[in-house]
Structure 1
């Protein structure tokens, strides 16, 4: 993380000097001196971080103080750069800049701006020189880092907690019965070709315990001629690994060890290994692999001799497991957390050596829940509690102060060390991204879009040939692949929608966050807690003393999660107190208004006001020239000031308000914008714009927004059609298009032939004279929703060959006929189908070879569909069938409690759910599952599994 801060400020200083050649003589020389000092210190920082990782963070206090001083010096330089950029943007107004600079501690207030900059750099240079001088006391050896030593896992030694899985008794292994049987079957059964079995999961999940348990299974032992277990470290030497492997084989089989292996060249050594393995059915277990290159290095030595040989690999990194496919037949087992029942059993074994006392059951359950099914955490915390008095007081103290205990208790430091390894292994640009998970409250489900946009606002995402959004998603994907982030939900297209981190890993992140001055979290009981230097505030509960007294003028981001009223002095003082803010997030808070001086936040790049009570934006919004994201979803901001058109860097502008009732055209309102919208040349996403406010002139300006990926327009009129078609033809990157007419009888004819090469999502809510010819040609379309179209002819024949369509919604009389027919071979990839409020639909037929991949099917309020389509029996892959507000005759026909004669048709579907209105409000309904032979046991209506996926789709 220290490397990150240093790298950022070096880039900033480079830009500073290049752009300001006219500064006083000596500034550039001073800068170069600072740059050289910092580059030298970077090497020391790497060495310090390596030493910290090697000894579990037990660095002496002198080292910690030195690193802290360097980081604070880097903060000073960042602040000077940002204040100077603000001065430049204010048209060289020296008097205003002097006023700003006076707020920077240590600056001489009587000089002009250029002298002040020169003076501050000189002072920083002297400070860093002293820090560098002090660092020689700690005897960091840079050459050691360069000689091949690298951070990460080492082969475990006596006392290392990673040694435990190698010697665990079979009777102590709990919760691995099913994966054990799966892996044993992979090892002793199947093909005679060489197969690699990879066990993947986060640190502490029990990968080594499971794999060693399988490795030592008696059936497995008897099946192989020779076996070898090898722990791989990141600093492994492949030659030594291969030599060690042969020695273990020979010792286990009482064979003489080949002589002279140490003197062999690489080719000869590999040949020796191949010759030894050629006639044997062998089993190799490589534990804790971290690098993709490991696969390439072992590929030629491990011969595939068609004798059923096997390789086991454990790794935290999914991309490492996947990379083995390049050279081997691979079976990947993604290890899951323990089932709650097994987690409880393991905890009781460790904490009580048996049964949990009744009076401790509730508190013990709470502790087990915090462990999140992580065996290492359960064993470590259970072991700690086994040493405590069996009282509610002791149990509660551990539960409430788990974060503190993880830091200081000898029983838990090993847990923190193992969990920290994955973080320590991250490249520095991902460390900042990972620390962001500590900003969110415990158990918070984090939306992908919100998180990645915050990363972009902070500048963590580097410019590349692809868009920032794509790169940010790749960052998140890598964190997921590294088993650091858990996916909470995915969209119909397989993309991550939300995510979170394991509670134990979050504790690691919070400790790192504090050590690095990354963020200060404000909680209910923090009134008396002093806030040191920090770069961010996460406000889970308003702490007035913190907000009033903080001197952190260098704050770069503020996040408000508090659900209470926000103090007026805090909101009004934002622009004056935190001038360097880049990220400001109020989502779901009780924010009522935005101060007029918001525009003074020159550096602001991300502003999230979604789901707040804000109704009006100040005209000063036009001064936020660096703003990239302005999130106004679910606010009652119905009109944007004309000044918004000055924001030429604005990329994302989602703005709408969804009301509490359903109407295809009127339940969601958009926003009115003024003439000049064409100046927003960086816009990637704009939804929803109300077209009738500016008419044809406004629509014509849209053609200037050539970077748009997503466009949503409401209240379209027929006479705007040609202008909109012409504008869309200029949008060469458009992927999502959502158009709604001003009235249900308004006919829109759009000629969008040129969008067919890239459009992925199409949502048309308007009357159409016929299905547009260009829609069946959208070969990349994954989602299509049609509403109010009133097609008299079945549109399915035209749509059936869309090659990548995953979701199809026909809503609100999109089809006004009586019969829909899904033909053989049609909709080859469709996963979700929704037929809603088709008032005349009375019959649905599905050919045997149609909709072969369909998983979700919903019928909603189709009053004439009174007979269950018998062809539903053809949908062999259907996982969910939902009926909402359907005729009673149909519903009763599938209800076995009422002797439903058609129950057999849906008996193969795992989940069948009935939704029925019970009140006048939109969300007043009850859910009732219909039992089938494939339904899962212990069904609970309130389970998230049965939440009927019925919502207003924008």
Structure 2
């Protein structure tokens, strides 16, 4: 077929459009069919994968044209023309519902066309449109008329390699429309064992590649940019999120509890996500149902969290923005010997128990925006800890220099720590990122001794890996 096409086009001027190209290998095989005959011929390809687009146009990167979402006017025009012969025929009582539905489509033509096609088969009544709008959040699981949307999005999921599928499903633990921080996400992937070692790369670099690949495939949307030019965070499109949730429930990948829903679950809970006040639903959780949970995540004021003693093999503990979390809730944290990741960001915690030193597999400890003022001496026993993030003014114990696996330390308040601790920073020979501050007011040591210790530490660190200094 390739040779037949090539022979037919050999002396002709041609325009060829190749729709929905999925891989570089497919382009490598297809392009052989098109002779370069200097007749001003053109080839247009479409793809959902950014790397494939760049590969097809190499070395002319300027030929890649990223499709932008439709604006509000074009979205509305496409939507209404699909339902009515004339967009002005839309009843006035449906105008607000139209806007609600289009907000969920985010300007994606595929979503707009399919939902409009569904509505075109129904009576143009406010009640019917409200039913469709309200069903969008769970449509992929419950409404058979959304099968076409599900089928098209499911193709994108099926095309993912297995190592990306599990990372993609893991996004179901977050609330809908949640902005998901990139660094926290990839560190949780590592903690749960989703990232396989690859020759010549550390786990974090591999996880970064996974994250970038999901963006390139348009499975997630990048949000913001950090100092290195990488996306600061990501978000999942509403309709794609429905697909993830549907698949996760089907596979018993995650159990979600919120103030208005509880996803179906078997007695074997692998990942538990609490969203909002879940006091009533939490009562249903017996100790036996939690012993196989590998990841526990809570968003917002969830009320009383389950006892940590009920978790036997927990690897990731992530409790964000939870004012009801108390010191007593984490007093048994040292019993969770499998923990790799702990984030208590913006919670009401004021003290870390000394038994945290027993967590010999812990890699990430994020205590930012808590009430913690000092860390126990046992923190220095965490020899596998890679990143330690603390609020301003925290006092670190002597022995911090023994934490030789540490690659990131922030925010280190040198004015609250002894010169000996400041000097110990120089022993952290793997440290790459250091956030540091000095405030002369109420400092426990004078500026001269601070500078002497700091210069000594920087001299050691500068000869090694330190590449980012923040204040």
Considering the TM-score relative to the shorter chain, is it more than 0.5? yes
**Partners of 1:558 and 1:480 in 2: how far apart?**
25
Task: Tell me the CA shift for residue 299 of structure 1.
Answer: 4.4
Give the counterpart of 2:172 among 430, 433, 438: 438
Match of 2:277 in 1: 542
**Partners of 1:703 and 1:462 in 2: how far apart?**
32
SS of aligned partner of 1:333: coil
CA deviations over 1:42-99 (Å, ceiling 9, x no partner) = xxxxxxxxxxxxxxxxxxxxxxxxxxxxxxxxxxxxxxxxxxxxxxxxxxxxxxxxxx
On the 8 A contact 1:651/1:683 being kept in 2, the answer is yes
1:635-784 equivalences under 5 Å are: 635-656=370-391, 669-715=392-438, 717-731=447-461, 732-738=464-470
CA deviations over 1:876-927 (Å, ceiling 9, x no partner) = xxxxxxxxxxxxxxxxxxxxxxxxxxxxxxxxxxxxxxxxxxxxxxxxxxxx
2:246 matches 1:508: no
On the 8 A contact 1:583/1:605 being kept in 2, the answer is yes
CA radius of gyration, larger in = 1
Give the counterpart of 1:342 among 40, 57, 74: 74
When normalised by structure 1's length, the TM-score is 0.46
**Partners of 1:561 and 1:305 in 2: how far apart?**
60
SS of aligned partner of 2:63: strand
Task: Tell me the CA shift for residue 358 of structure 1.
Answer: 1.7
2:202 matches 1:467: yes
2:142 matches 1:399: no
When normalised by structure 2's length, the TM-score is 0.90
2:40 matches 1:308: yes
List gaps (5 residues or longer) in structure 2.
Answer: 440-446
Q: Provide closer, same or farther for how the CA distance between residues 328 and 719 of structure 1 changes in structure 2, counting only shifts above 3 A.
A: closer
2:294 matches 1:556: yes
SS of aligned partner of 2:43: strand
2:43 matches 1:320: no
**Partners of 2:434 and 2:274 in 1: how far apart?**
33
Give the counterpart of 2:317 among 554, 563, 584: 584
Q: Provide closer, same or farther for how the CA distance between residues 699 and 528 of structure 1 changes in structure 2, counting only shifts above 3 A.
A: closer
Match of 1:235 in 2: none
On the 8 A contact 1:295/1:327 being kept in 2, the answer is no
Q: Provide closer, same or farther for how the CA distance between residues 541 and 651 of structure 1 changes in structure 2, counting only shifts above 3 A.
A: same
Pairwise CA RMSD: 2.3
Tell which has more relative contact order, 1 or 2 (C-alpha 8 A, sep 6+).
2
CA deviations over 1:684-707 (Å, ceiling 9, x no partner) = 110122334443321232222111
SS of aligned partner of 2:164: helix
Task: Tell me the CA shift for residue 714 of structure 1.
Answer: 2.7
On the 8 A contact 1:706/1:733 being kept in 2, the answer is yes
List gaps (5 residues or longer) in structure 1.
Answer: 1-239, 247-272, 657-668, 739-953
Task: Tell me the CA shift for residue 351 of structure 1.
Answer: 3.1
CA deviations over 1:793-825 (Å, ceiling 9, x no partner) = xxxxxxxxxxxxxxxxxxxxxxxxxxxxxxxxx
SS of aligned partner of 1:311: strand
Match of 2:121 in 1: 387
Match of 2:442 in 1: none
Give the counterpart of 1:362 among 96, 99, 115: 96
1:92-131 equivalences under 5 Å are: none
Match of 1:373 in 2: 107
Task: Tell me the CA shift for residue 500 of structure 1.
Answer: 0.8
**Partners of 1:302 and 1:327 in 2: how far apart?**
17
On the 8 A contact 1:531/1:546 being kept in 2, the answer is no
SS of aligned partner of 2:44: strand
Match of 2:229 in 1: 494
SS of aligned partner of 1:537: strand
CA deviations over 1:307-327 (Å, ceiling 9, x no partner) = 211001111111111112447
Task: Tell me the CA shift for residue 588 of structure 1.
Answer: 1.3
